[in-house]
Amino acid sequence: MNIILLGPPGAGKGTQSDLLVSRRGLIQLSTGDMLRAAVAAQSEVGLRAKAIMDRGDLVSDNVVIDIISDRLDQDDTKTGVIFDGFPRTVAQAEALDQLLSKKGMALDAVIEISVNEDALVARIANRAGESGGARADDNAEILRNRLVVYREQTAPIIPYYQEKGALKTVDGMASVEVVAASIAAILDAA
């Protein structure tokens, strides 16, 4: 089972990914983690990525797709994966579709965790007050900025997956367990 979890920062994607890893044995594929691992392993694509990063440039979609391709070839991904942090743009979504097709794989579900942004900002501000702001991202202003970036850069992939009939939406304002149950129902039906 291969899935993408979508949603703005703070929507609970990380929490739900952790639950899917522990309950369903899926592998969470974080593009950042994969990129760092490829660089550390000094693989061909890792060396290409390192040269780009050493120049201070952003790693291109092609390099990221190559890293994902290499990772999908590893045995532990055969039970299924959760794409974390990818795709972020329509071009990346199209490239992922092409990669999966080439490997004889498919996406089983694209799940949007929908949240009320004002309530999310209030939740983060409350969490920051309770914890003394222990986390750098527990700041309402930082979250507002991240939400703007999400709406501008990543949210456009939602219609892409809607048009393909792949998008399902769950209420991210519900409790962690209710959201998990909603996601489980979608996956069980897929």
Judged by DSSP in three states, 81 sits in strand
Residue 42 contacts by C-beta under 8 Å, 6 or more apart in sequence? none
Contacts 24+ apart (CB under 8 A), 164-170: 166/107, 166/109, 166/110, 167/6, 167/110, 167/111, 167/112, 168/109, 168/110, 168/111, 168/112, 169/111, 169/112, 169/113, 169/114, 170/111, 170/112, 170/113, 170/114
Catalytic residues: 13, 88, 127, 135, 146
Q: Do 4 and 111 touch, CB atoms closer than 8 A?
A: yes
Cα–Cα distance measured from residue 112 to residue 171, given in angstroms and rounded to the nearest whole number: 9
The answer to whether 17 and 5 have CB atoms below 8 angstroms apart is: yes
Write out the H or E segment, with its range, that includes residue 46: helix 44-54
